[in-house]
Structure 1
């Protein structure tokens, strides 16, 4: 019984129950909600947010904060497509390599500034977000790239476990969704089964203590922000495969949804805490919530209200949990 209660106290269990209850409620109101076609469409529409969330989770666990990932993705996307159209005869693999390289360099720039100047990460990343995005808009003059290399399209158009609708259209699990799932498994392995993953948790929990036990804090910070930038690069290619157009301001502005999903999944803003499963469930809840509002014909403005409320509630719950843990530690020391 105690084991069951301890499981139910975990954020992942709470989110699973909320997702189940919300799904049942919407299915009763709108039977088309719980269909294979709608589920596939919902997962595809939130695959980019899901990929972004992995990078943000890594940064938050490491004790940092990042709002520049959207600008990194925007720059990577525009620059890669432009290079592939004008100067490089490539393929999907080369597109990913270029995007990852560009994203990693910008992420490392963030990590260097944060480590070198010892300033709050949120201040640095707000600054670099405006820097990256501003340079892109000045250089591109806001020009859209309507043409996208055709070899990028299959990333979102190819369907796995495909089925045919009554009107003859094909639906199924998009490969961009499979990419999100695969990266989630990879990140779970990195965070829980590798030395660098455990180092990220230790640095996020207490950087000074981590340094005393021999962990290179500087290298860990650079790793966190570099990998976060690389993930932003991957997400940029996933995004362009879905919309099949490059718009200089189409990604910037998604920061709140991504951060909210990560925090809702149990990641602590103070660092050292979070899980890939919790983040996945957080993204899934937001995806279902967005789809539910559409199906129930409720104004999309309510989505922003729910997002802000969920962030505040999640932060409050995390704060209460940390206070409870601190009190238990005090009691143990007194005893």
Structure 2
């Protein structure tokens, strides 16, 4: 236990907060721990988790990207338009197109950052506005409601009828699981992952060690773009429509969740486990407030308090607190 606390201090503290929050909500609202509500939480946050692991790779590499939600909107429109143009396509074609378009948008960010030596937050603010402006200009803000049948048809991986309704797990959850595993494998089991951590922790030292700076930026932002593209396609599958501005505004919630999970804005730190716990904490807090009838306007305040509490306790060593005290022998 102490080894886990020392290896993952931020994740351990977040897990403790999450357990306390779940315990409190389960007492305050009988509906919270029902199977219907739990599966709904998982289904509804699959897209956010896909975004989160994409953003995680960028943060590990010392960057920041706030354009991923707009990128997902652009990919949605491009993929669905292309699929309609080719007569429908299928899941393999749709996911391939989403990944390709997403990587392309991510590489635009990486190219601007590397080519003009501009900090990533400035570039992604610029591309956020540029991508969104171009999307609204070429689409005139019109939505697409006639999606290919295979994309709009719900796919249930598991379902069970309960006394209060149906509990189910849907396709986006499986896609989310694949994205989580792929990101974990990239950052924890490959040489590229170790280089991303090294580059984020000390860019100049990494450069002197022979790490290709452009390659690291391209991989990080390309991965984030790819995850944004996949998430955009999953969102279209869930809602059965493509609305150009529907995803705008969710960037900061995802960023807050990833940072809350232990990713450092300065780079060099972060884990997939932390992403899962961060997104779970934000989702559980929002869901709990809704079940308790609290105004949705209070949600941002609650999330802000949770984040502030997590940051203010970041220097507390849980492993040291749980370790048995040794008495000095005279």
Q: What is the TM-score with the length of structure 2 in the denominator?
A: 0.91
Moved more, 261-270 or 31-40: 31-40
Which of residues 154, 161, 164 in structure 1 aligns to 2:161?
A: 164
Deviation at residue 74 of structure 1 after TM alignment = 0.5
Deviation at residue 160 of structure 1 after TM alignment = 2.7
Deviation at residue 201 of structure 1 after TM alignment = 0.3
SS of the aligned residue for 1:160 comes to: strand
Deviation at residue 115 of structure 1 after TM alignment = 0.8
The structure-2 alpha-carbon separation of the partners of 1:26 and 1:189, relative to structure 1 and needing over 3 Å to count, comes to: same
Alignment of 1:14-163 (within 5 A): 14-154=13-153, 157-163=154-160
1:245 aligned residue: 241
The structure-2 alpha-carbon separation of the partners of 1:313 and 1:129, relative to structure 1 and needing over 3 Å to count, comes to: farther
Deviation at residue 217 of structure 1 after TM alignment = 1.2
The structure-2 alpha-carbon separation of the partners of 1:10 and 1:226, relative to structure 1 and needing over 3 Å to count, comes to: same
- In 2, distance between residues paired with 1:77 and 1:162? 27
- With CA pairs under 8 Å and 6+ residues apart, which has the higher RCO, 1 or 2? 2
The structure-2 alpha-carbon separation of the partners of 1:21 and 1:311, relative to structure 1 and needing over 3 Å to count, comes to: closer
> Once the two structures are superposed, what CA deviation does each residue of 1:53-106 show, in whole Å capped at 9, x if it has no partner?
011110001000000101110000011111212334301111111111111111
- In 1, distance between residues paired with 2:166 and 2:50? 25
- In 2, distance between residues paired with 1:132 and 1:85? 22
Q: What is the TM-score with the length of structure 1 in the denominator?
A: 0.89
Deviation at residue 175 of structure 1 after TM alignment = 2.0
Alignment of 1:183-222 (within 5 A): 183-222=179-218
Deviation at residue 311 of structure 1 after TM alignment = 4.3
Is 1:261 aligned to residue 265 of structure 2? no
Deviation at residue 13 of structure 1 after TM alignment = 1.4
- In 2, distance between residues paired with 1:124 and 1:63? 14
1:229 aligned residue: 225
The structure-2 alpha-carbon separation of the partners of 1:3 and 1:247, relative to structure 1 and needing over 3 Å to count, comes to: closer
- In 1, distance between residues paired with 2:230 and 2:190? 22
Does structure 2 conserve the Cα–Cα contact (< 8 Å) formed by 1:159 and 1:171? no
- In 1, distance between residues paired with 2:140 and 2:86? 20
> Once the two structures are superposed, what CA deviation does each residue of 1:248-287 show, in whole Å capped at 9, x if it has no partner?
1001111011000000000000000000001110001111
Kindly report the root-mean-square deviation, in angstroms, between the aligned alpha carbons of the 2 structures.
1.9
The structure-2 alpha-carbon separation of the partners of 1:315 and 1:133, relative to structure 1 and needing over 3 Å to count, comes to: farther
Does structure 1 conserve the Cα–Cα contact (< 8 Å) formed by 2:62 and 2:268? yes
Aligned residues, how many?
316
Does structure 2 conserve the Cα–Cα contact (< 8 Å) formed by 1:260 and 1:310? no
Does structure 2 conserve the Cα–Cα contact (< 8 Å) formed by 1:263 and 1:314? no
The structure-2 alpha-carbon separation of the partners of 1:239 and 1:292, relative to structure 1 and needing over 3 Å to count, comes to: same
Does structure 2 conserve the Cα–Cα contact (< 8 Å) formed by 1:102 and 1:230? yes
Does structure 2 conserve the Cα–Cα contact (< 8 Å) formed by 1:160 and 1:172? yes
The structure-2 alpha-carbon separation of the partners of 1:145 and 1:2, relative to structure 1 and needing over 3 Å to count, comes to: closer
1:178 aligned residue: 174
- In 1, distance between residues paired with 2:2 and 2:70? 46
Deviation at residue 307 of structure 1 after TM alignment = 3.0
Deviation at residue 216 of structure 1 after TM alignment = 0.7
Say which structure is richer in helix: 1
SS of the aligned residue for 2:242 comes to: coil
- In 2, distance between residues paired with 1:2 and 1:226? 36
The structure-2 alpha-carbon separation of the partners of 1:184 and 1:152, relative to structure 1 and needing over 3 Å to count, comes to: same
Structure 2: gaps of 5 or more residues: 317-330
Q: Which runs of 4 or more aligned residues in structure 1 lie more than 2 Å from their structure 2 counterparts after TM superposition?
A: 1-7, 86-89, 157-161, 306-318
SS of the aligned residue for 2:236 comes to: helix
